[in-house]
Structure 1
Amino acid sequence: MIFKLLSSQVPWLLLLACLFLQSAYRRQWANIRALFWLGATVGISDAVAAQIIKPFAARIRPCIALNWIHVVDGCAGSLSFPSNHASNGAAFAAFWFMWKGGPIGWFALACAFCVGISRVYLGMHYPSDVLGGFVLGSCIGGLSFVLARRFILSESPNTTAIKKEAV
Protein backbone atom coordinates (compact mmCIF):
# COMPACT_ATOMS: atom_id res chain seq x y z
CA MET A 1 0.00 0.00 0.00
CA ILE A 2 2.74 2.49 0.96
CA PHE A 3 4.67 1.71 -2.23
CA LYS A 4 1.59 2.41 -4.36
CA LEU A 5 1.12 5.71 -2.54
CA LEU A 6 4.77 6.67 -3.09
CA SER A 7 4.36 5.97 -6.81
CA SER A 8 1.28 8.17 -7.05
CA GLN A 9 1.43 11.81 -8.11
CA VAL A 10 -1.15 12.86 -5.53
CA PRO A 11 1.07 13.21 -2.43
CA TRP A 12 3.68 15.20 -4.35
CA LEU A 13 1.12 17.56 -5.88
CA LEU A 14 -0.48 18.07 -2.46
CA LEU A 15 2.93 18.83 -0.96
CA LEU A 16 3.66 21.43 -3.64
CA ALA A 17 0.19 22.97 -3.22
CA CYS A 18 0.62 23.23 0.56
CA LEU A 19 4.06 24.80 0.20
CA PHE A 20 2.70 27.24 -2.37
CA LEU A 21 -0.24 28.23 -0.15
CA GLN A 22 2.01 28.64 2.88
CA SER A 23 4.41 30.83 0.91
CA ALA A 24 1.54 32.90 -0.52
CA TYR A 25 0.06 33.38 2.95
CA ARG A 26 3.44 34.55 4.25
CA ARG A 27 4.05 36.62 1.11
CA GLN A 28 7.31 34.82 0.40
CA TRP A 29 7.49 35.70 -3.28
CA ALA A 30 10.95 34.21 -3.82
CA ASN A 31 9.64 30.89 -2.50
CA ILE A 32 6.66 31.05 -4.84
CA ARG A 33 8.94 31.67 -7.82
CA ALA A 34 11.18 28.80 -6.70
CA LEU A 35 8.21 26.45 -6.30
CA PHE A 36 7.01 27.24 -9.83
CA TRP A 37 10.58 26.69 -11.03
CA LEU A 38 10.68 23.39 -9.13
CA GLY A 39 7.43 22.27 -10.76
CA ALA A 40 8.88 23.11 -14.17
CA THR A 41 12.05 21.21 -13.26
CA VAL A 42 10.07 18.05 -12.52
CA GLY A 43 8.14 18.54 -15.77
CA ILE A 44 11.39 18.83 -17.74
CA SER A 45 12.77 15.73 -16.03
CA ASP A 46 9.61 13.83 -16.94
CA ALA A 47 9.70 14.98 -20.56
CA VAL A 48 13.39 14.17 -21.06
CA ALA A 49 12.98 10.69 -19.59
CA ALA A 50 9.72 9.82 -21.37
CA GLN A 51 10.08 11.57 -24.72
CA ILE A 52 13.81 11.41 -25.40
CA ILE A 53 15.57 8.67 -23.47
CA LYS A 54 12.87 5.96 -23.24
CA PRO A 55 12.27 5.72 -27.01
CA PHE A 56 16.03 5.74 -27.63
CA ALA A 57 16.82 3.05 -25.02
CA ALA A 58 13.66 1.03 -25.85
CA ARG A 59 14.02 -1.36 -22.91
CA ILE A 60 10.91 -3.44 -22.24
CA ARG A 61 9.49 -3.42 -18.69
CA PRO A 62 10.27 -6.45 -16.54
CA CYS A 63 6.56 -7.12 -16.06
CA ILE A 64 6.34 -7.69 -19.84
CA ALA A 65 9.72 -9.31 -20.51
CA LEU A 66 9.69 -11.68 -17.53
CA ASN A 67 6.42 -13.56 -17.12
CA TRP A 68 7.31 -14.72 -13.58
CA ILE A 69 7.51 -11.15 -12.19
CA HIS A 70 4.80 -10.45 -9.63
CA VAL A 71 3.06 -7.18 -10.50
CA VAL A 72 1.02 -5.50 -7.79
CA ASP A 73 -1.25 -3.30 -9.89
CA GLY A 74 -0.98 -4.28 -13.55
CA CYS A 75 1.75 -3.50 -16.03
CA ALA A 76 1.53 0.05 -17.36
CA GLY A 77 3.20 1.09 -20.59
CA SER A 78 5.90 -0.90 -22.31
CA LEU A 79 9.18 1.02 -21.95
CA SER A 80 11.24 0.88 -18.82
CA PHE A 81 14.55 2.81 -18.96
CA PRO A 82 14.84 5.23 -17.27
CA SER A 83 12.22 5.27 -14.53
CA ASN A 84 10.26 8.52 -14.81
CA HIS A 85 9.21 8.23 -11.17
CA ALA A 86 12.84 7.93 -10.05
CA SER A 87 13.92 10.74 -12.37
CA ASN A 88 11.17 13.08 -11.20
CA GLY A 89 11.72 12.24 -7.54
CA ALA A 90 15.46 12.79 -7.86
CA ALA A 91 14.97 16.09 -9.71
CA PHE A 92 12.65 17.30 -6.95
CA ALA A 93 14.95 16.05 -4.17
CA ALA A 94 18.17 17.40 -5.69
CA PHE A 95 16.64 20.85 -6.20
CA TRP A 96 15.07 20.82 -2.73
CA PHE A 97 18.26 19.61 -1.04
CA MET A 98 20.34 22.33 -2.70
CA TRP A 99 17.70 24.98 -1.96
CA LYS A 100 16.70 24.19 1.62
CA GLY A 101 19.31 21.68 2.83
CA GLY A 102 19.22 20.47 6.42
CA PRO A 103 16.95 17.71 7.70
CA ILE A 104 14.17 18.56 5.24
CA GLY A 105 16.62 18.22 2.37
CA TRP A 106 17.72 14.81 3.61
CA PHE A 107 14.07 13.84 4.00
CA ALA A 108 13.42 14.77 0.35
CA LEU A 109 16.36 12.59 -0.73
CA ALA A 110 15.06 9.69 1.39
CA CYS A 111 11.60 10.05 -0.18
CA ALA A 112 13.09 9.98 -3.69
CA PHE A 113 15.01 6.83 -2.75
CA CYS A 114 11.80 5.21 -1.46
CA VAL A 115 10.00 6.10 -4.70
CA GLY A 116 12.75 4.34 -6.64
CA ILE A 117 12.57 1.26 -4.44
CA SER A 118 8.79 1.22 -4.87
CA ARG A 119 9.13 1.00 -8.66
CA VAL A 120 11.24 -2.16 -8.38
CA TYR A 121 8.95 -3.62 -5.70
CA LEU A 122 5.86 -3.00 -7.83
CA GLY A 123 7.50 -4.87 -10.74
CA MET A 124 7.55 -1.86 -13.05
CA HIS A 125 11.33 -1.40 -13.35
CA TYR A 126 14.67 -3.10 -13.16
CA PRO A 127 17.03 -1.64 -10.52
CA SER A 128 19.17 -0.17 -13.32
CA ASP A 129 16.10 1.73 -14.62
CA VAL A 130 15.76 3.36 -11.23
CA LEU A 131 19.48 4.11 -11.01
CA GLY A 132 19.37 5.71 -14.47
CA GLY A 133 16.37 7.78 -13.38
CA PHE A 134 18.21 8.89 -10.25
CA VAL A 135 21.24 10.02 -12.26
CA LEU A 136 19.13 11.85 -14.85
CA GLY A 137 16.89 13.53 -12.28
CA SER A 138 19.78 14.54 -10.04
CA CYS A 139 21.57 16.17 -12.97
CA ILE A 140 18.43 18.02 -14.09
CA GLY A 141 17.52 19.07 -10.54
CA GLY A 142 21.05 20.23 -9.76
CA LEU A 143 21.42 22.20 -12.99
CA SER A 144 17.98 23.70 -12.52
CA PHE A 145 18.87 24.87 -9.02
CA VAL A 146 22.06 26.51 -10.28
CA LEU A 147 19.99 28.37 -12.89
CA ALA A 148 17.29 29.24 -10.35
CA ARG A 149 19.87 30.63 -7.94
CA ARG A 150 21.26 32.76 -10.75
CA PHE A 151 17.96 34.02 -12.16
CA ILE A 152 15.15 33.86 -9.60
CA LEU A 153 16.59 33.33 -6.13
CA SER A 154 19.17 36.10 -6.20
CA GLU A 155 18.02 39.36 -4.67
CA SER A 156 17.04 42.01 -7.16
CA PRO A 157 17.43 45.72 -6.36
CA ASN A 158 13.64 45.95 -5.87
CA THR A 159 13.51 43.27 -3.17
CA THR A 160 16.50 44.79 -1.39
CA ALA A 161 14.81 48.22 -1.39
CA ILE A 162 11.59 46.73 -0.04
CA LYS A 163 13.47 45.01 2.79
CA LYS A 164 15.24 48.27 3.71
CA GLU A 165 11.93 50.17 3.78
CA ALA A 166 10.41 47.56 6.09
CA VAL A 167 13.19 48.09 8.66
Structure 2
Amino acid sequence: MGMEFKILDMIQEIRTPILDSLMCMITKLGDAGAIWIILAVILLLIPKTRKTGAIVVAALAVDIVLCNGILKPFIGRIRPCDINTSIQLLVARPDDFSFPSGHTAASFAAVAALYFAGEKMLWKPALILSCFIAFSRLYLYVHYPTDILGGIVVGILAGYLGYQMVVKLKVIIDNRNVRKER
Protein backbone atom coordinates (compact mmCIF):
# COMPACT_ATOMS: atom_id res chain seq x y z
CA MET A 1 0.00 0.00 0.00
CA GLY A 2 2.99 2.29 0.42
CA MET A 3 3.48 2.54 -3.34
CA GLU A 4 -0.18 3.36 -3.83
CA PHE A 5 0.02 6.25 -1.37
CA LYS A 6 3.14 7.50 -3.16
CA ILE A 7 1.19 7.58 -6.43
CA LEU A 8 -1.77 9.32 -4.78
CA ASP A 9 0.54 11.85 -3.11
CA MET A 10 2.28 12.56 -6.44
CA ILE A 11 -1.11 13.28 -7.97
CA GLN A 12 -1.88 15.65 -5.07
CA GLU A 13 1.19 17.69 -6.07
CA ILE A 14 -0.47 18.69 -9.37
CA ARG A 15 -3.63 20.04 -7.70
CA THR A 16 -4.77 23.47 -8.82
CA PRO A 17 -8.09 25.28 -8.34
CA ILE A 18 -8.93 24.75 -12.04
CA LEU A 19 -8.14 21.02 -11.89
CA ASP A 20 -10.04 20.75 -8.60
CA SER A 21 -13.18 22.10 -10.28
CA LEU A 22 -12.67 20.04 -13.42
CA MET A 23 -12.12 16.77 -11.54
CA CYS A 24 -15.20 17.38 -9.39
CA MET A 25 -17.29 17.92 -12.54
CA ILE A 26 -15.84 14.85 -14.26
CA THR A 27 -16.38 12.58 -11.27
CA LYS A 28 -20.01 13.77 -10.99
CA LEU A 29 -20.63 12.41 -14.49
CA GLY A 30 -19.86 8.98 -13.07
CA ASP A 31 -21.97 9.33 -9.92
CA ALA A 32 -24.33 6.33 -9.84
CA GLY A 33 -23.33 5.66 -13.46
CA ALA A 34 -25.48 8.65 -14.46
CA ILE A 35 -23.80 9.49 -17.77
CA TRP A 36 -23.87 5.83 -18.84
CA ILE A 37 -27.50 5.38 -17.86
CA ILE A 38 -28.42 8.49 -19.87
CA LEU A 39 -26.45 7.13 -22.83
CA ALA A 40 -28.21 3.76 -22.54
CA VAL A 41 -31.65 5.41 -22.49
CA ILE A 42 -30.80 7.49 -25.57
CA LEU A 43 -29.57 4.37 -27.38
CA LEU A 44 -32.73 2.49 -26.40
CA LEU A 45 -34.91 5.27 -27.82
CA ILE A 46 -33.29 5.10 -31.26
CA PRO A 47 -34.46 2.00 -33.19
CA LYS A 48 -31.10 1.59 -34.96
CA THR A 49 -29.17 1.49 -31.66
CA ARG A 50 -31.75 -0.25 -29.47
CA LYS A 51 -29.72 -3.48 -29.25
CA THR A 52 -26.63 -1.51 -28.20
CA GLY A 53 -28.71 0.27 -25.54
CA ALA A 54 -29.86 -3.10 -24.22
CA ILE A 55 -26.25 -4.29 -24.10
CA VAL A 56 -25.21 -1.21 -22.12
CA VAL A 57 -28.12 -1.69 -19.70
CA ALA A 58 -27.21 -5.37 -19.23
CA ALA A 59 -23.54 -4.48 -18.71
CA LEU A 60 -24.40 -1.87 -16.08
CA ALA A 61 -26.70 -4.35 -14.33
CA VAL A 62 -23.96 -7.00 -14.23
CA ASP A 63 -21.52 -4.36 -13.02
CA ILE A 64 -23.68 -3.24 -10.12
CA VAL A 65 -24.14 -6.83 -8.96
CA LEU A 66 -20.45 -7.68 -9.25
CA CYS A 67 -19.06 -4.41 -7.95
CA ASN A 68 -21.48 -3.14 -5.33
CA GLY A 69 -23.32 -6.36 -4.51
CA ILE A 70 -20.43 -8.80 -4.25
CA LEU A 71 -16.90 -7.39 -4.38
CA LYS A 72 -17.09 -4.19 -2.30
CA PRO A 73 -18.78 -5.82 0.72
CA PHE A 74 -16.71 -9.00 0.45
CA ILE A 75 -13.33 -7.25 0.20
CA GLY A 76 -14.22 -4.34 2.49
CA ARG A 77 -11.22 -2.17 1.63
CA ILE A 78 -10.95 1.10 3.51
CA ARG A 79 -10.59 4.21 1.35
CA PRO A 80 -7.31 6.15 1.22
CA CYS A 81 -9.04 9.27 2.54
CA ASP A 82 -9.92 7.32 5.71
CA ILE A 83 -6.29 6.40 6.30
CA ASN A 84 -4.63 9.68 5.31
CA THR A 85 -7.06 12.18 6.77
CA SER A 86 -4.74 15.12 6.13
CA ILE A 87 -5.99 15.42 2.54
CA GLN A 88 -8.90 17.81 2.19
CA LEU A 89 -11.62 16.08 0.19
CA LEU A 90 -13.26 18.05 -2.58
CA VAL A 91 -16.25 15.70 -2.76
CA ALA A 92 -18.43 14.11 -0.12
CA ARG A 93 -16.70 11.12 1.44
CA PRO A 94 -18.14 7.98 -0.18
CA ASP A 95 -19.86 5.76 2.36
CA ASP A 96 -19.10 2.41 0.76
CA PHE A 97 -15.87 0.46 0.44
CA SER A 98 -13.05 1.30 -1.91
CA PHE A 99 -12.34 -1.81 -4.03
CA PRO A 100 -13.18 -1.86 -6.86
CA SER A 101 -13.92 1.69 -8.00
CA GLY A 102 -17.61 1.76 -8.87
CA HIS A 103 -17.24 4.87 -11.03
CA THR A 104 -14.48 3.16 -13.01
CA ALA A 105 -16.28 -0.18 -13.24
CA ALA A 106 -19.50 1.38 -14.54
CA SER A 107 -17.56 3.51 -17.01
CA PHE A 108 -15.59 0.60 -18.40
CA ALA A 109 -18.69 -1.62 -18.45
CA ALA A 110 -20.29 0.93 -20.77
CA VAL A 111 -17.14 1.23 -22.90
CA ALA A 112 -16.80 -2.55 -23.21
CA ALA A 113 -20.50 -2.89 -24.02
CA LEU A 114 -20.17 -0.29 -26.78
CA TYR A 115 -17.04 -1.98 -28.09
CA PHE A 116 -18.54 -5.49 -28.16
CA ALA A 117 -21.71 -4.09 -29.75
CA GLY A 118 -19.55 -2.75 -32.59
CA GLU A 119 -20.25 0.94 -31.91
CA LYS A 120 -17.06 2.28 -33.49
CA MET A 121 -18.11 5.92 -33.26
CA LEU A 122 -19.11 5.71 -29.58
CA TRP A 123 -16.71 3.46 -27.74
CA LYS A 124 -13.58 5.57 -28.32
CA PRO A 125 -14.96 8.85 -26.91
CA ALA A 126 -16.53 6.81 -24.10
CA LEU A 127 -13.10 5.32 -23.36
CA ILE A 128 -11.56 8.78 -23.11
CA LEU A 129 -14.30 9.93 -20.72
CA SER A 130 -13.92 6.71 -18.72
CA CYS A 131 -10.19 7.33 -18.29
CA PHE A 132 -10.88 10.86 -17.06
CA ILE A 133 -13.50 9.57 -14.61
CA ALA A 134 -11.07 6.91 -13.33
CA PHE A 135 -8.27 9.47 -12.92
CA SER A 136 -10.63 11.84 -11.12
CA ARG A 137 -11.16 9.21 -8.43
CA LEU A 138 -7.39 9.15 -7.78
CA TYR A 139 -7.13 12.93 -7.94
CA LEU A 140 -9.95 13.26 -5.43
CA TYR A 141 -8.18 10.78 -3.08
CA VAL A 142 -11.14 8.43 -2.76
CA HIS A 143 -9.55 5.40 -4.48
CA TYR A 144 -6.23 3.61 -4.65
CA PRO A 145 -4.66 2.87 -8.05
CA THR A 146 -5.47 -0.84 -7.62
CA ASP A 147 -9.13 0.10 -7.03
CA ILE A 148 -9.06 1.73 -10.46
CA LEU A 149 -7.39 -1.30 -12.05
CA GLY A 150 -9.93 -3.57 -10.37
CA GLY A 151 -12.73 -1.35 -11.66
CA ILE A 152 -11.37 -1.57 -15.19
CA VAL A 153 -11.25 -5.39 -15.03
CA VAL A 154 -14.72 -5.68 -13.48
CA GLY A 155 -16.10 -3.20 -16.01
CA ILE A 156 -14.68 -4.99 -19.03
CA LEU A 157 -15.97 -8.32 -17.68
CA ALA A 158 -19.42 -6.78 -17.06
CA GLY A 159 -19.44 -5.30 -20.57
CA TYR A 160 -18.60 -8.67 -22.09
CA LEU A 161 -21.17 -10.51 -19.99
CA GLY A 162 -23.83 -7.89 -20.80
CA TYR A 163 -23.09 -8.34 -24.49
CA GLN A 164 -23.29 -12.14 -24.22
CA MET A 165 -26.56 -11.96 -22.30
CA VAL A 166 -28.26 -9.79 -24.93
CA VAL A 167 -26.91 -11.87 -27.82
CA LYS A 168 -28.15 -15.11 -26.20
CA LEU A 169 -31.50 -13.54 -25.34
CA LYS A 170 -31.89 -12.38 -28.95
CA VAL A 171 -31.18 -15.92 -30.20
CA ILE A 172 -33.84 -17.31 -27.84
CA ILE A 173 -36.39 -14.72 -28.98
CA ASP A 174 -35.56 -15.28 -32.66
CA ASN A 175 -35.94 -19.07 -32.23
CA ARG A 176 -39.33 -18.61 -30.58
CA ASN A 177 -40.45 -16.32 -33.40
CA VAL A 178 -39.36 -18.89 -36.01
CA ARG A 179 -41.33 -21.61 -34.21
CA LYS A 180 -44.43 -19.38 -34.08
CA GLU A 181 -44.21 -18.73 -37.83
CA ARG A 182 -44.26 -22.45 -38.65
- For 1:124 and 1:144, the matched residues in 2 are separated by 27
TM-score by length of 2: 0.72
For 2:142, the equivalent position in structure 1 comes to 124
For 1:113, the equivalent position in structure 2 comes to 131
Structure 1: state its 5+ residue gaps.
160-167
Kindly indicate whether residue 67 of structure 2 is the aligned counterpart of residue 44 of structure 1.
no
For 1:162, the equivalent position in structure 2 comes to none
Instruction: Supply the RMSD in Å over aligned alpha carbons.
Output: 2.5
For 1:16, the equivalent position in structure 2 comes to 40
Structure 1 stretches of 4+ with a deviation exceeding 4 A read: none
Q: Could you say what secondary structure the match of 1:16 adopts?
A: helix
Higher relative helix content = 2
TM-score by length of 1: 0.77
State how many pairs are aligned.
153
Q: How does 1:82-93 map to 2 (within 5 A)?
A: 82-93=100-111
Say if 2:44 and 2:51, in contact at 8 Å, map to a contact too.
no
For 2:27, the equivalent position in structure 1 comes to 4
Larger RCO: 1 or 2 (CA < 8 Å, sep 6+): 2
For 2:115, the equivalent position in structure 1 comes to 97
Say if 2:72 and 2:98, in contact at 8 Å, map to a contact too.
yes
Please report how far the alpha carbon of residue 73 of structure 1 lies from its aligned counterpart in structure 2 after TM superposition: 1.3
- For 1:19 and 1:103, the matched residues in 2 are separated by 13
- For 1:153 and 1:124, the matched residues in 2 are separated by 42
Kindly indicate whether residue 133 of structure 2 is the aligned counterpart of residue 133 of structure 1.
no
Which deviates further from its counterpart, 124-133 or 13-22?
A: 13-22
Q: Output one character per residue of 1:23-58: Cα deviation in whole Å (capped at 9) or x when no partner.
A: 3xxxx4xx4344234213202211211121112211
- For 2:58 and 2:93, the matched residues in 1 are separated by 28
